[in-house]
Homo-oligomer: A and B are copies of this chain.
């Protein structure tokens, strides 16, 4: 693609030669001579000098011999260009002879069903879906169009997955929620989990992540939700649209998470907690109560950003506090003696 063509697609103002041929897109430190790159934040400017990139997206014009596309959102423009120049390769359509597809399952147009895939009865697979090797889709699942399930994904019966969803390898969608009630001898009697999981369009689910089916009703992953690897989503959770959940976070049963919320890695959220929209939880937060106001929260138990800013410096100089107290006690003693 020529630079000019890129601008026609993603916008921006060109400083340089629009006829420059761009053959790839890459990060500043990785780009080769035919690549376009980007300066996402001013702090990355020093990396520009050593980059071999031919052109960059940048918010404000800078001094460089590279071609520049001045763009209000360089990272976004770059992401779109990257997707153009390096699209995910779609394997050829067709059903591999080793796949097991139930007679009553329905396959859309141009689907790719790879080796050893198992699609059970009543399942509906939308147009252009890609089910990679060893994927298992249970009875009566419904999957929209253009969705990709990577190898060894398990989708339990009755799950509904939207369109343009990606589910990475090893993820388990719709396993039983974790729910028991003790009998008279303290043995745990299972509460059958008769609900299901519904995943919205454009969601992405990470490798080996688990999303449990609802006890009753449904566990809901909203549109455009992005979930990283090894995350646990309990039964009956509702995750709002365009929320991001980073690796190894665990969300207990029956939580409601707002829209456009960001939950950083290794966070834990107790059951039945409600978190409003536009919340950011720092890494390793422990949330045991509802969060009703947007903003940043962190630590365990989670506190507001402003409180955390007061808390952490004191917390970290605890040994000094102990010394201060000891000094006070000594002084007081000598005053008392006096």
In the complex, the answer to whether B169 meets A88 with C-beta atoms within 8 Å is: no
In-complex Cβ contact of A194 among B82, B248, B303 (8 A): B82
In the complex where A82-B194, A134-B136, A176-B168 touch, is A268 in contact with B242 (Cβ < 8 A)?
no
In the complex, the answer to whether B247 meets A234 with C-beta atoms within 8 Å is: yes
Q: How far is the CB of A1 from chain B (nearest CB, A)?
A: 15
In the complex where A301-B316, A325-B321 touch, is A152 in contact with B181 (Cβ < 8 A)?
no
How many copies of the shown chain assemble into the complex?
Answer: 3
In the complex, which residue of chain B has the Cβ closest to the Cβ of A268?
B266
Interface membership of A15, Cβ < 8 A: no
Instruction: A118-B151, A178-B226, A266-B268 given; name 6 further pairs at CB < 8 Å.
Output: A27-B216, A29-B216, A114-B118, A152-B170, A166-B176, A284-B300
Q: Which A residues have a C-beta under 8 Å from some C-beta of B? A: 26-27, 29-31, 40, 73, 75-76, 78-80, 82-83, 86-88, 96, 98, 100, 114-116, 118, 132-134, 136, 150-152, 154, 156, 166, 168-170, 172, 175-176, 178, 180-184, 186-192, 194-195, 202, 204, 206-208, 210, 212, 215-217, 224, 226, 228-230, 232, 234, 242, 244, 246-248, 250, 252, 260, 265-266, 268, 270, 283-284, 286, 288, 300-301, 303, 307, 310-312, 314-316, 318-319, 321-322, 324-325, 328-329, 331-332, 335-336
